[in-house]
Amino acid sequence: MPDPLLQPLAPSRRGDFSFRRGTTGIHVPSGHLSPIAEWEPGRTVVGALPFDHRTGTGDRLYATDLPLTPGTLAVGIGPEFTGAGVHPVAVDPGLEDAYTGAVRAALDPLVQENDLGKVVLGRAVRATLDQRPEWESLLRRLTARNRNAWVFSVPLGGAQAFLGASPELLISRRGDRIISHPLAGSAPRSSDPVEDCRRSERLTGSPKDHYEHAFVVDMIAETLAPWCAELEVPDQPELLATDKMWHLGSRITGRLRDPAAEGTDALSLARLLHPTPAVAGVPTREAMDRIHDLENADRRYFAGTAGWCDADGDGDWVVSIRAAEFDGDRVTAWAGAGIVDGSDPDSEFTETGAKLRTILEGLGIVPAKEFIHGHCSA
């Protein structure tokens, strides 16, 4: 139930910043966003960081003079915001052979040279829509379909904006308390309850997925440990469900040694952690080089991080997955899969398709399933 003490959240436009989960969220109108290069103590900042600065995509950070006061989403969650969709009139789904070929190319050094432990490969689907979507409707639709996800929208200037429904918390800070909840190891869900249960059981028992998950947990724990007086890391991951995917997740919690120290604000901690092996690989720099060689487009803000940090250094930053970038009536959606020794190229293609459906169906883009796999005749 929404908090009765919260005020209704104002509808968001493409040029605004929005960050919400469940029935609450924050909203900063475009008129209160001022581009900045970096956060400073005493300043409130919102925005997104790209996956890889080396491609030329810069940080998209904004200072605001408004307090980040949560509001309720209780009003307008019904059909007037979530009922109507948009349709693609031109589609580039990417070639299945191109993606599975890239996976096979990534597997060679994993198996033969042993210089990489994991590399995350993404693919993009691009579409031109029959109309410019109404922005608040997009966000409400994503929120309604992904109740446990962090739904974000970051303006990129003009008619461009980046939005998504991320299930993965990179870092949250409140005072001296921090939380990180990485996800790695995934399986598509099934509409058949019996098969859905089988898939969840296969995931929890999969050595390959546990191996992939351990890379991420170990990196986050090693990075946060020097800053913490206490750090609790689960021995085993838990099973988490979204509308389209099963995930292995680990909730890491800690207490900062000195929350007033430089580098302990939420944004600085996010910079320390990003990119994790969940979106890049292991070792990080070598994996990012391999991604640059094998992916056919710049990820820009996909697999980066989006969120906010207030004047006290508290804030939330999520891994910007299940995300899409809009430019007028054009949209580009991305999804990725972790490639380790034992990965199957066809299975990884299926996994990325299920992840793409989360964002595209959540946005009301119809028919999402068909054009993800290249079968749409539009």
Catalytic residue positions? 118, 168
d(CA 134, CA 217): 38
Distance CA 43, CA 185 (A): 37
Whole-angstrom distance, CA of residue 51 vs CA of residue 113 = 26
Structure tokens at 272: 């320390």
Three-state DSSP class for 306? strand
Q: What separation, in Å, do the N-terminal and C-terminal C-alpha atoms of the chain show?
A: 41
**Alpha carbon of 94 to those of 240, 358, 371: distances in Å?**
29, 18, 9
Q: Which amino acid is at 29?
A: P
Cα angle 325, 326, 328; round to 5 = 165
Question: What whole-number distance in Å separates Cα of residue 365 and Cα of residue 373?
Answer: 14
For residue 205, count other CB atoms closer than 10 A to its CB.
9
Both tokens assigned to 27: 């909203």
